[in-house]
């Protein structure tokens, strides 16, 4: 037996590294993890889609790297692998992120970095120039580095630029520049949405020293807090701690019930919809060092995502020293809880989805328990129908004002309305959260119409207090306004 030196062919290895399944958003997030680990306070993402095609630069003001550290960082499979001891706040895991995330999106990766007390350094991998050797292009002088136009983005102090060119994933989508640009910009939108959720706890930090911001083409990203924790209707339930005695570490579990959709402000509703609506965003939110790894899933501990559990969100914090127990993958986008945590989560889920269901049900009851509901739910032989209440004072007074022939015609119209109620369409729109909410301001026309209804009921001898109650039950938000106009 003898030892044979059998290194991998660079181009083969890199081509397979390119396909581990990163999207542009997960790739950018992985690069930003490095910035956070390097204590950056600000990350700037600059994108451009000029005559040379799409390019993206991720610039941070972190501690930067010396020339030799940069070369080590560019090595595929450097010395910071999964077995390396990592600091409490280190976001890295496999020693691959910078390379794998970058190559998943581009064929040319240039990293420019400056560390305090060191000269600016730069190195570049160009996959089209590899010719089967691991020859990294290293810039040999500060002048040479400064000839790279993007290097001027490092504002004198320490920091790092990760620069992607030859972004073939984008170029593969279309041949004409206008379509390439359109596709690139929509990918950038997805990147922004993703980052505002994944790093929301960093972007929200207001305490001095913890300030952190991400700008996309100089525009700051707003955090998306999936718990709406500052909303007064959000319920923050009891925090639970699961200890891992063999490691002396804890997993923290903080359940929330978010406010019902209708209580959110317009912008909050829009953002929630963009993220997948209440149903799509329910579930566990797993964080590692405050960075969101995975969300919108019940880890198969619930049979299905339902509308009733749609308001439940469970924030789970795991320290990076427990990575191995959670089967964290290379892209840091999928995790699976260890068995002893699953058992606890199963118990917590029952408790909190009960709360979430109650929030939904109580809202449903409030709507249907109004004394003067116009629509009635009729259940018989396991079928449900929605019918208009013919004894409703409004319909009753209107009937009374009609001749016998007109009464017949009006009854026919009501039958048609009930029969033609588009139940499926309403159901689909409700699931997709497309339904408009009841209007909150009364237009002149609405006021006029309701004033006529008030007159009609008065003619039937119904008193004002009752009319007011009837009108309010019709879901008109400002019945007082109607009365004032009438008086």
User: Is residue 226 near ligand ADP by the rule CB under 6 A?
Assistant: no
Site for ligand ADP in 95-114 (CB under 6 A): 95-99
- Taking the complex as a whole, the smallest distance from the CB of residue 33 to Mg ion amounts, in Å, to 5
- Taking the complex as a whole, the smallest distance from the CB of residue 125 to ligand ADP amounts, in Å, to 12
- Taking the complex as a whole, the smallest distance from the CB of residue 337 to ligand ADP amounts, in Å, to 22
* Comparison of 69 and 478: residue with beta carbon closer to ligand ADP: 69
* Comparison of 80 and 110: residue with beta carbon closer to ligand ADP: 80
Site for ligand ADP in 129-168 (CB under 6 A): 160
| Residue 159 burial (CB count, 10 A) | 26
User: Is residue 97 near Mg ion by the rule CB under 5 A?
Assistant: yes
User: Is residue 277 near ligand ADP by the rule CB under 6 A?
Assistant: no
* Comparison of 92 and 310: residue with beta carbon closer to Mg ion: 92
Q: Compute and round to an integer the Cα radius of gyration of the chain.
A: 30
User: Is residue 92 near Mg ion by the rule CB under 5 A?
Assistant: yes
User: Is residue 78 near Mg ion by the rule CB under 5 A?
Assistant: no
How far apart are alpha carbons 122 and 105 in whole angstroms?
A: 20
- Taking the complex as a whole, the smallest distance from the CB of residue 96 to ligand ADP amounts, in Å, to 5
Candidates 27, 29, 34, 56; binder of ligand ADP (CB under 6 A) is: 34
Candidates 65, 123, 198, 251; binder of ligand ADP (CB under 6 A) is: 65
Site string for Mg ion, 28-47 (x = CB under 5 A): ------x-------------
- With contacts defined by CB under 6 A, name the span among 90-98, 136-144, 200-208, 305-313 that binds ligand ADP: 90-98
How far apart are alpha carbons 219 and 439 in whole angstroms?
A: 33
When CB distances to ligand ADP are compared, the closest residue is 92
* Comparison of 34 and 254: residue with beta carbon closer to Mg ion: 34
User: Is residue 67 near ligand ADP by the rule CB under 6 A?
Assistant: no
- Taking the complex as a whole, the smallest distance from the CB of residue 335 to ligand ADP amounts, in Å, to 16
User: Is residue 92 near ligand ADP by the rule CB under 6 A?
Assistant: yes
Residues that bind Mg ion (CB under 5 A): 34, 92, 97
Contacting residues toward ligand ADP, per CB under 6 A = 34-35, 38, 60, 62-65, 73, 78, 80, 92-99, 160
């Amino acid at each position: 037996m003898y030892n044979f030196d059998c290194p991998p062919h660079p181009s083969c290895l890199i081509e397979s590294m390119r396909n581990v399944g990163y999207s542009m958003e997960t790739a950018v997030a992985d690069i930003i993890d490095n910035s956070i680990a390097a204590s950056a306070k600000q990350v700037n993402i600059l994108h451009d889609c000029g005559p040379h095609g799409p390019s993206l630069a991720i610039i941070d003001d972190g501690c930067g790297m010396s020339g030799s550290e940069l070369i080590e960082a560019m090595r595929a499979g450097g010395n910071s692998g999964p077995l390396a001891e990592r600091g409490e706040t280190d976001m890295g895991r496999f020693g691959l992120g910078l390379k794998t995330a970058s190559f998943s999106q581009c064929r040319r990766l240039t990293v420019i970095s400056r560390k305090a007390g060191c000269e600016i350094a730069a190195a570049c991998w160009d996959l089209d120039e590899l010719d089967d050797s691991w020859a990294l292009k290293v810039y040999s002088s500060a002048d040479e580095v400064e000839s790279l136009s993007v290097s001027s983005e490092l504002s004198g102090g320490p920091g790092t630029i990760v620069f992607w060119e030859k972004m073939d994933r984008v170029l593969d989508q279309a041949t004409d520049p206008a379509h390439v640009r359109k596709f690139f910009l929509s990918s950038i939108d997805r990147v922004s949405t993703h980052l505002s959720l994944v790093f929301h706890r960093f972007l929200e930090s207001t305490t001095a020293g913890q300030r952190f911001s991400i700008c996309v083409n100089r525009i700051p990203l707003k955090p998306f807090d999936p718990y709406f924790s500052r909303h007064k209707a959000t319920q923050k339930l009891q925090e639970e701690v699961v200890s891992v005695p063999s490691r002396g570490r804890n997993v923290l579990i903080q359940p929330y019930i978010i406010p019902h959709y209708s209580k959110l402000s317009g912008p909050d509703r829009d953002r929630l919809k963009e993220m997948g609506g209440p149903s799509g965003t329910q579930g566990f939110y797993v964080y590692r060092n405050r960075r969101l790894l995975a969300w919108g899933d019940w880890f198969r501990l619930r049979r299905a995502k339902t509308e009733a559990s749609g308001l439940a969100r469970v924030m789970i914090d795991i320290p990076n020293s427990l990575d191995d127990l959670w089967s964290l993958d290379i892209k840091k986008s999928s995790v699976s809880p260890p068995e002893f945590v699953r058992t606890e989560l199963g118990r917590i889920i029952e408790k909190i989805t009960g709360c979430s269901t109650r929030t939904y049900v109580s809202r449903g009851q409030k709507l249907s328990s109004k004394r003067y509901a116009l629509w009635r739910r009729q259940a018989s032989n396991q079928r449900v129908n929605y019918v208009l209440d013919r004894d409703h004072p409004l319909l009753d007074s209107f009937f009374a004002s009609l001749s016998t022939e007109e009464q017949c015609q009006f009854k026919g119209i009501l039958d048609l309305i009930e029969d033609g109620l588009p139940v499926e369409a309403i159901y689909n729109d409700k699931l997709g959260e497309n339904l408009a909410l009841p209007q909150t301001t009364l237009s002149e026309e609405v006021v006029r119409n309701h004033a006529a209804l008030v007159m009609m009921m008065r003619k039937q001898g119904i008193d004002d207090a009752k009319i007011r109650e009837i009108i309010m039950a019709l879901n008109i938000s400002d019945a007082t306004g109607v009365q004032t106009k009438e008086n």
